[in-house]
Amino acid sequence: MRFLYARCSTKQQNEDRQLEAARKLGIPESQVFLDKASGKNADRPALKDMLSRLREGDEVYVTELSRLGRNTRDLLDLMETFKNKKIGIHSLSEDIDTSTPSGELVFSIFAAVATFQRQIILEAAEEGREAARKQGKPLGRPKVDADKLDYAMHLFSDDSSKSIKQICELTGLSRSTIYREAEKRSISRASVPDFNEGDGQ
């Protein structure tokens, strides 16, 4: 099944161009998802709705990759989610089709960059703890890195299909820390099928 995701800001009205692309592709209106929000707006209900409907083998079309992500980290995480779910991505402007060998290479590059980015965050946190130990500073309950918390909350609530266990592994945070921070920010999990839970935790 084919879907098209479109996003337009109130300042940059390019909705018609994106919806016209859906018509040219023969994608029915019921399979077109439009968010009217800036790329920095965390509330993207149409994207969450689309993600909840996607199944293995489906294809998502966008006029350009920037429609998908609010920032680089967002885009990396979302592309990895699509790859894990075996969802094909077609970006019309960049001429990307992940069903082709060159498109698969794009997926691989995104995944590698995402892994590298996470590793940098975790290593920086560990280096900070090690430096504190060497200086004899009492660690107690370590202060959680704000970037790691933000990243964990993104994975917890937004466009990722990561399980709680995977979020803990990716960020180095405990379940209690993640749930406590989510409660503090009044964040609830999106109703997205979790293809990666597997372990029942």
Residue 196, CA distances (Å) to 31, 59, 71, 161 in order: 25, 19, 24, 7
Active-site residues: which are they? 9
The burial of 81, by beta-carbon neighbours within 10 Å (0-12 exposed, 13-18 middle, 19 or more buried), is given as buried
Q: Residues with Cβ < 8 Å from 14, sequence gap 6 or more? A: 8, 63
Residue 89, CA distances (Å) to 21, 77, 103, 154 in order: 15, 14, 8, 21
Q: Token pair 């970037």 is at which residue?
A: 147
